[in-house]
A and B are shown apart, each in its own frame.
Chain A
Amino acid sequence: MDEILEILEKDGRASVEDIAKMTRKKPDEVKKAIKKYEKEGAILKYKAVINKDLVKDYESEVRALIEVNIVPQKDLGFDKIAERIYSFPEVTSCYLISGTYDLLVVVEGKNLHTVSNFVAEKLSCLENVRGTATHFLLKKYKEDGVILKHKSHKDERIAISY
């Protein structure tokens, strides 16, 4: 992967100037490359990873991982029916996977009730959906490579050494 992307993936706020110095490129070159990635959709967006457990006024949400079995459509396979599912705003992630079921759908809702309503009234009723199994998420330990535990980054090394 281009080193520019590697740096941005770690720190979306890295400045063009710093990236240029770190990769021995000209700032203009870096700027152009980033614009190109944005245009082509390689860079989709920049966002903060928030540990919602630590946000005071955050109204907690319920998350569920739902295994969905579907009947693929002729000519279109799974894609069309997946689109119908992931277009619901309640769906935060949707993956086609191998194994005993077809789609893994991640759904977020205010409470248990809203999530089960979504499954019962929207998801299960879709033509082509053969069955679902809903797993409610109890605790998040690590997400997208980030460990969700607040650690003060204390340097344990002795402050000066040879």
Chain B
Amino acid sequence: MEISRVVEKMQPSGIRAFFDLVLGMKEVISLGVGEPDFVTPWQIREAGIYSLEQGFTSYTSNKGLYKLRLGIHRYLKNKYGLEYCPDEEILITVGVSEGLDLALRAIINPGDKILVAQPSYVSYGPVTELAGGIPVYIDTTKDGFKLTPKLLERHIDKKTKGIVLNYPTNPTGVSYRRKELEELNKILNKHNILCLSDEVYGDLTYDFKHTAFPTLPKAKDNTLYFNGFSKAYAMTGWRVGYVCGPREIIAAMTKIHQYTIMCVPITSQMAAAEALVSGKRSTEQMKREYNRRRLLLAEELNTLGLKCSRPQGAFYMFPSIKSTGLSSMEFSRKLLEEEKVAVVPGTAFGPCCEGYIRISYASSLENLKEALVRLKRFLEKIK
């Protein structure tokens, strides 16, 4: 059977083989995990269990439970002063991943270009291609992994339809201050480009207050705001995310959603609704814990000679390993084989990321410290 040519072309296989190597090995200390090490707070789990006991096992509205959309409406209003109508401007999706897929499929016509700043999360480009669009990658490695107005302007042309922005960023932990976002927004406004703002790590911002993109001047009508429950409430496995935006785009996305997904599982939606009611304290506690690990790790990595700036959000660091002379893949493979520590080679996040690795500090302090001991030993060995 001939496979779709777009699919055939997708995703370099080298990374997959490395992942398989990690998964096949026992007793690995993994700093390669892209999800919280906490379990979902009990009151949220309990809400899911209770909903099952009560017999909530049916479909929900395509858009998602009204109770949950209302909760999201309130959350965004309280936190950012943002107003989205729960009836027409909010859609509950299977994580941010589904939301992005829907959005790209809903807006792209053949040949439309979507900008993606790299290093970036792995799905943006492939999903754009699946939707018939052309991803245009912007290399930010020389600008501290940050998209600058200059870089942005340089990559825009007549076919540019949208940009996927993700901050705090997976894999670098970099985030933007309000002023920086304003500058970017001015340019997007000028060229009438839709901003797909993936802010799933927004609640995990450490050094300054997170700015939601649609709160910028004249941004709301030209932004799709993506968020979810996975990171802030440690709910990755529940698969709940949401998109807020202009009603005509949300309506178009809902069309695709109703044919492909129907609705997000009701148990997960019930639990997510509870997270909005009572989860704030748990999020704060987890954030404090991540912050401590972040500060410790940033300092230790620099001491070890792996240059890395202190990330401002999420739970990732993206140190340079160029001083070792090894490629990202060689470094990661050797570290795994010799010291049983797993990290993700930078090249997974774009070809421009050669010479970097992603380290996740969503791992207990105990694990992090043991990993640092092994990393130190490893670096001395390969000197």
Contact = CB atoms under 8 A, between A and B. Distances in A.
Interface in A3-24: 3, 6-7, 11, 18, 21-24
A7, A23, A159, A162: most-surrounded residue (chain B CB, <10 A):
A162
Interface residues of B, number: 28
Given A7-B292, A22-B295, A155 B37 contact: yes
A77 to B, nearest CB: 35
Contacts of A24: 295
Contacts of B48: none
B300 interface: yes
A162 B30 contact: no
A11 B366 CA distance: 11
Contacts of B369: 18
B149 interface: no
Interface size class of A (residues with CB under 8 A): 10 to 19
Given A21-B299, A21-B300, A155-B37, A160 B292 contact: no
B174 to A, nearest CB: 17
A162 B123 CA distance: 9
B316 to A, nearest CB: 11
A162 B122 contact: yes
A157 B32 CA distance: 11
A23 B295 contact: yes
A21 B372 CA distance: 14
B170 interface: yes
Interface string B274-313: 0000000000000010001101100110000000000000
B121 interface: yes
B112 interface: no
Contacts of B365: 11
Contacts of A22: 292-293, 295-296
A159 B360 CA distance: 11
Interface in A114-155: 153, 155
A161 B34 contact: yes
A159 B37 contact: no
B295 A161 contact: no
A160 B300 contact: no
Nearest to A156: B39
A50 interface: no
A158 B360 CA distance: 13
A159 B35 contact: no
Contacts of B33: 157-161
A153 to B, nearest CB: 8
Contacts of A3: 288, 292
A143 to B, nearest CB: 17
Contact of B37 (A18, A157, A160, A162): A157
Contacts of B364: 153
Contacts of A155: 30, 37
Nearest to A160: B32
Contact of B35 (A7, A153, A161): A161
Nearest to B343: A160
Contacts of B244: none
A11, A18, A22, A23: most-surrounded residue (chain B CB, <10 A):
A22
18 contacts: A3-B288, A3-B292, A7-B292, A21-B295, A21-B300, A22-B293, A22-B296, A23-B292, A24-B295, A159-B22, A159-B30, A159-B33, A160-B32, A160-B33, A160-B342, A160-B344, A161-B32, A161-B35
Interface of B: 19, 22-23, 25, 28, 30, 32-35, 37, 121-123, 170, 288, 292-293, 295-296, 299-300, 342, 344, 348, 364-365, 369
Given A157-B37, A159-B22, 16 more contacts: A21-B295, A21-B296, A22-B293, A23-B292, A24-B295, A155-B37, A157-B33, A159-B25, A159-B30, A159-B342, A160-B23, A161-B32, A161-B33, A161-B35, A162-B34, A162-B348
